[in-house]
Chain A
Amino acid sequence: MTNLLEPGPKLRRRYRAEKIFKRMGLSAIIASLCFVFFLFYTIISDGYSAFTQTYIEIEVSFNKDLFTDANISKADFPGLVKKSLLKMFPEVTKRQDKKLLYSLISPSAAYTMQELVEETPKLIGTTQKIWVLADDDVDMLIKGKYQRDVPESNRRLKDLQLKWIDRLTAEGMLEKKFNTTFFTSGDSREPELAGILGAAKGSLLTLLITLSLSFPIGVAAAVYLEEFAPANRWTDIIEVNINNLAAVPSIIFGLLGLAIFINFWGLPRSTPIVGGLVLTLMTLPTIIIAGRASLKSVPPSIREAALGIGASKMQTVTHHVLPLALPGMLTGTIIGMAQALGETAPLLMIGMVAFIVDVPGSFTDPSAVLPVQIYLWADSPERAFTEKTSAAIMILLAFLIAMNSLAVFLRKKFEIKW
């Protein structure tokens, strides 16, 4: 007779095992949460500063005699910037010091001037106060990423430059502002000019190709294999091969893409269309396998019910099986897409690991993608690219989160309650 009030030793042991199991599960979850938080913390604490950029206000007089040529772009804009700086610091006379002074301002200042004048030619003959980008070294100093207290010879910014920067700061002519450039331009070798838009758009275009090819092809293949294909040796061979393909290292797909799409079809290198095709090859097995698994999970009684009242095979699949399997298929697709979004190895082979400044406008413009941009920036010698790297990772994560939420939304929308 077991005592209901006093559990025996056997029962107690069972409960203990249960408790240990529960605790282990909980600590596993806590540990993984810790890693995720740590990851987010390091990335955000490294990268948040990239969203502001240091600007310096300079007073520019657009003298008429500078713009004698009818073609405005021929004017000496770098000279204009230099002149303005010298006017602000008249005490600088030595050649060496002048060079130091000029290096406070980003080389982009000249382009800024050019754009301004080209936009509103009326500026010619006036004097304007204009905020221009500071050099990345100045920016790093302002953001506290350079130490001031090391000997001058060991610093990228010399004592004289520090003095000027302090003066500018005190006069309110040096400020951190929101970094719009980061969101509106492509890659650059000047950290202060480098932006993520080119890579983000490249990723978007590439994934569009991948999604629009791999989803329909993957779903069609999964439906055919699962619902229509006769069970014979050929189907077995195809099945084994698809499973093997899912395990093939992604760089192989890059080699394949290089051989077929670029060398054989003659598609242009480094473009989203080739990248999309290569990533399609890579994600197809994932989508097919996930698709088949979710088709398998549809209970056979639903198929019988439909067939039993005289639905054809096709109607059974499209009216009943597919809607039930779709949420699972979407999940598989999103996993495939997320993989594709983070992939660089196969893109190396088809030339997408490249320095590309112009933001791609179409599927056949050369473009990079987000992970490639991260890789390239992480490998750049300039210190200021460190924060850009982290910021780019944040953008990539945002992309991922957006894609996942879309998947969750779609799944919720298509999910059929039992």
Chain B
Amino acid sequence: MELTANHASNAFPTMLSEEMLEEAEQSKTLATARKTVGTPFVDTPRMTCRDIQVFYGDKQAINKMSIDVASNEVLAMIGPSGCGKSTFLRCLNRMNDTVLSCRVTGEVKLDGTDIYHPSVDVVPLRARVGMVFQKPNPFPKSIYDNIAYGPKIHGLTKNKDELDEIIETSLIRAGLWDEVKDRLQDPGTGLSGGQQQRLCIARTIAVSPEVILMDEPCSALDPIATARVEELIAELRTQFSIVIVTHSMQQAARVSQRTAYFHLGDLIEVGATEKVFTNPLHQLTEDYITGRFG
């Protein structure tokens, strides 16, 4: 009931005064949540997030965010540096569990199952919700072993031929095949930064996750490689859901169907990408995309 009410109220743009904004910034505790404007919820969600709060020790990094990720969509997350995009993304496959000081409250559901439920095992969860990190982090093993690792531990292949095939398709889809097909046994750490990032993408898609979380996957890539990754994202969307954090608004506009704008731990606005970029509801969003902020 409450949710619907919330939903309804969000339909109307609520403008926040400059004073309130400053006050929130000064207190830093983000005690009063800003209401999200736009359309954070969808009809057929793959993942649903409700009232997510994240604390690093005593410091609150994310304040009561509620948002859905639809099936077969690309959701872009934009916002100034340090506003909590990565933190939020890491809530979706419980990567924050590894940070000792980090505490997450609220509810995240994947296909209706609460992933923070005590009896949920993070191992299959992370196989279903894959992640590409902000900094490329290949294993110090061969290119082949980097990609083979996921399928091996999850027992996805029966024999070497199947494994070889997965590796080839993953590399092709990540746009790396032509560059590395002759040196699959070379160490993955010997590749260039951009190649490493594509290797990490290939490693993630090799286990066929249902949701892929990408944290600035293209920040180290040249325009050609970026275009290839964007193609890949478009292709993956036909099967999977993708949440991508990016600093490039053009990229967000190119690849995503919906865009979420983050500001200092708050989810300010969510909406269809076209709408957010052409006609933002919230002043802060407008400031940001027009370059007046951040």
* Pair from one complex: yes
Chain A interface (Cβ < 8 Å from any Cβ of B): 231, 299, 301-312, 315, 319-320, 324, 416-418
Complex contact B130–A309 (CB within 8 A): yes
Bound together, the chains give a CA A309 to CA B86 distance in angstroms of 17
How many residues of B are in contact with the other chain, CB < 8 A?
Answer: 29
Complex contact B153–A304 (CB within 8 A): no
Q: A302-B137, A304-B137, A320-B139 are in contact. Are A309 and B126 (CB under 8 A)?
A: yes
Q: A309-B149, A311-B153 are in contact. Are A418 and B126 (CB under 8 A)?
A: no
Shortest Cβ distance from residue A389 to the other chain B in the assembled complex, whole angstroms: 48
Contacts of A302 in B (CB 8 A): 137, 139-140
Complex contact B207–A324 (CB within 8 A): no
Contacts of A416 in B (CB 8 A): 140-141
A416 to chain B: closest residue by CB: B140
A308 to chain B: closest residue by CB: B131
B211 within 8 A of A: no
Chain B interface (Cβ < 8 Å from any Cβ of A): 93, 95, 98, 100, 122-127, 130-131, 133, 135, 137-141, 149-150, 153-154, 187, 189, 200, 203-204, 207
Q: A301-B133, A302-B137, A315-B153 are in contact. Are A310 and B204 (CB under 8 A)?
A: no
By Cβ-Cβ distance, the 4 closest A-B pairs, closest first, are A310-B127, A301-B137, A310-B126, A309-B150
Q: A309-B150, A417-B140 are in contact. Are A231 and B100 (CB under 8 A)?
A: yes
B94 to chain A: closest residue by CB: A307
Bound together, the chains give a CA A418 to CA B141 distance in angstroms of 9
Q: A319-B149, A417-B187 are in contact. Are A310 and B139 (CB under 8 A)?
A: no
> Is chain A's interface secondary structure helix, strand, loop, or mixed overall?
helix
12 extra interface residue pairs, beta carbon distance < 8 Å, beyond A301-B133, A304-B98, A418-B189 = A304-B95, A305-B137, A305-B200, A308-B126, A308-B131, A309-B204, A310-B150, A315-B153, A319-B149, A416-B141, A417-B187, A418-B187
B204 to chain A: closest residue by CB: A309
A315 to chain B: closest residue by CB: B153
Contacts of B141 in A (CB 8 A): 416
Complex contact B138–A310 (CB within 8 A): no
Contacts of A417 in B (CB 8 A): 140, 187, 189
Bound together, the chains give a CA A324 to CA B137 distance in angstroms of 14
Shortest Cβ distance from residue A223 to the other chain B in the assembled complex, whole angstroms: 16
Complex contact B203–A309 (CB within 8 A): yes
- One of B124, B135, B204 near A308 (C-beta < 8 A): B204
A316 to chain B: closest residue by CB: B98
Most A CB atoms within 10 A — which of B139, B200, B207? B139
- In the complex, 21 of the A-B residue pairs with CB atoms within 8 angstroms, ordered by the A residue number, are A299-B137, A302-B140, A304-B137, A305-B139, A307-B95, A307-B126, A308-B126, A309-B127, A309-B204, A310-B122, A310-B150, A310-B207, A311-B123, A311-B153, A315-B153, A319-B153, A320-B139, A416-B141, A417-B140, A417-B187, A418-B140
